Amino acid sequence: MQTAPPNVEVDDVRDVHAHLEVLLRRLDADAVAACDATRMWELFSGITRFGAAGATLLARRVEDSGAWKGTDAHSAAEHLAKLAGSSLCEAQQLLQTSKRVQKLALTAAAIRSGELSPGKAHAIADAASVVPDEEARLLDGAREKSLSDVREACLRAKAKSKPDERHDRIHRDRRLTQHKDSEGAWKAFLRGPIEAQAEFKAAHEPIVDELFQKARADGKHESREAYAFDALIEMARRAMGTTATTTGPSDKPKKRPPARYVGVLRLDLEALLRGWVEGDETCEIRGLGPIPVSRARELLGDAILKLVITKGVDVINVTHLGRAPTVAQQAALWWRSPTCTAAGCNRTQFVQNDHRIEWTKTKHTRLDELDPLCTHHHDLKTNKHWALTAGTGKRPMVAPQDPRHPNHRGPPRRE
């Protein structure tokens, strides 16, 4: 007769906690040998994942216990947030993941083995609870992938299965929350359908650029995030007719044409004709994410869209004598490289088309000689001489001393 293995008791966990506490009191980071620092950091990071795994698995049990009702917390999530010193949002995600993995054996096993960070565990549990058949595929190689790549894979997995239902679910759960923090600052959070972001950006970004240009003309320099905030307030003022921007002595606000979203819709022709996606077919707003075909059809009716269809024209061999790509080349770039080319970077905002060979030398623009780069990676290339490794598509950007750098010459020869 087999007996069940003994369960982990509070005393067992307390002993591990006490040992770590003693270990950290002894730890002198400056005394650690340089050759051991990375490995030791990896081990501590692994310990963190194991600790997070235990907290994730136990979170739902804390809610079940009802102990939080005896505190000043309004919910179990708020109680967990106070105990952990984390945000309420993080605690809510932890609790949500804890409940979901009850029915996701593979994800629970990966959490127990320390393979998943809390962010990856939440993303995969969220996706697998909607599309259970994708659970094993999402877990495959998740430990080595970046969090942004795992989230993107989860988003695409959810979009493959019944995108209209996913869209309706997001629409039902749409929300805008506002509150004042302890310092007296206004804070806001919103979540809703992806096409709502498209409409928002169409009205918001031109005002950001307008305020940015005006500030630069006045010799002022602030972050783009600051101008984005100011642009949001300016949108509200213009909607109420109280904007300070006027046309002249009449002090009436400038009249602007209705905002229209300019973007690229990645859409398979068969899906457009059929009305829904199947298999590996695509229907998404470039840089924003998947949308139902029904919403794509609506956007095609009231938006300015560069429609890039799978059966479109190949512009790979087009040579343009101007510095910037033609409309066809830009559309092809958006289709081929919707994010920054640097491996591990999934930024879609403020991406510039970088010429592999300076345009001043070639005097032409070709699709196979362009690499979209975000401002950060473009700055590394321009000012610090970093470079993408040889090849095409997503690939690492490396420092000049890296052997993979195109101009790396290796160590000096010994005479």
pLDDT in tens, 187-213: 899 999 888 988 898 899 999 999 999
* Residues 41 and 129 grouped into a single domain: yes
Residue 370 lies in a domain: yes
pLDDT at 4 over 60: no
pLDDT at 290 over 60: yes
* Residues 155 and 14 grouped into a single domain: yes
Total count of domains within the chain: 4
Instruction: Report helix, strand or coil for 372.
Output: strand
Residue 181 lies in a domain: no
**Which sign, positive or negative, has the C-alpha torsion 199, 204, 207, 208?**
negative
Residue 414 lies in a domain: no
* Residues 99 and 57 grouped into a single domain: yes
Q: What pLDDT score was predicted for residue 94? A: 93
- The predicted model gives 370-387 an average pLDDT of 88
Residue 183 lies in a domain: no
Which H or E element spans position 82?
A: helix 76-84
Domain of residue 231: give its range.
193-240
Bigger pLDDT: 87 vs 71 = 87
Residue 182 lies in a domain: no
Bigger pLDDT: 246 vs 118 = 118
- The predicted model gives 107-115 an average pLDDT of 93
* Beta-carbon-side half-sphere exposure of residue 387 (alpha carbons within 13 Å): 16
Residue 178 lies in a domain: no
The residue from 161, 183, 214 where one domain ends is 161
pLDDT at 257 over 70: no
* Residues 212 and 344 grouped into a single domain: no
CA atoms of 152 and 146, how far apart (whole Å): 10
Q: What pLDDT score was predicted for residue 113? A: 92
Residue 168 lies in a domain: no
CA atoms of 266 and 283, how far apart (whole Å): 5
The residue from 180, 206, 240 where one domain ends is 240
Instruction: Report helix, strand or coil for 386.
Output: coil
* Residue 249: band (very low, low, confident or very high) from pLDDT cuts 50, 70, 90: very low
CA atoms of 187 and 388, how far apart (whole Å): 39
Q: What pLDDT score was predicted for residue 34? A: 92
CB 284 within 8 A of CB 266: yes
CA 294 to each of CA 80, 168, 171, 174, 276: distance values in angstroms, whole numbers, following the listed order: 41, 12, 14, 19, 8
Name the amino acid, one letter, at 174: R
pLDDT at 139 over 90: yes
pLDDT at 2 over 70: no
* Residues 67 and 157 grouped into a single domain: yes
CA 90 to each of CA 84, 96, 170, 192: distance values in angstroms, whole numbers, following the listed order: 10, 10, 19, 19
- Joined together, the tokens standing for residue 51 give 């600790």
CA atoms of 330 and 12, how far apart (whole Å): 60
Name the amino acid, one letter, at 294: S
pLDDT at 350 over 70: yes
Q: What pLDDT score was predicted for residue 276? A: 82
CA atoms of 213 and 207, how far apart (whole Å): 10
Bigger pLDDT: 270 vs 306 = 270
The pTM of this model reads: 0.57
Residue 389 lies in a domain: yes
* Beta-carbon-side half-sphere exposure of residue 321 (alpha carbons within 13 Å): 0
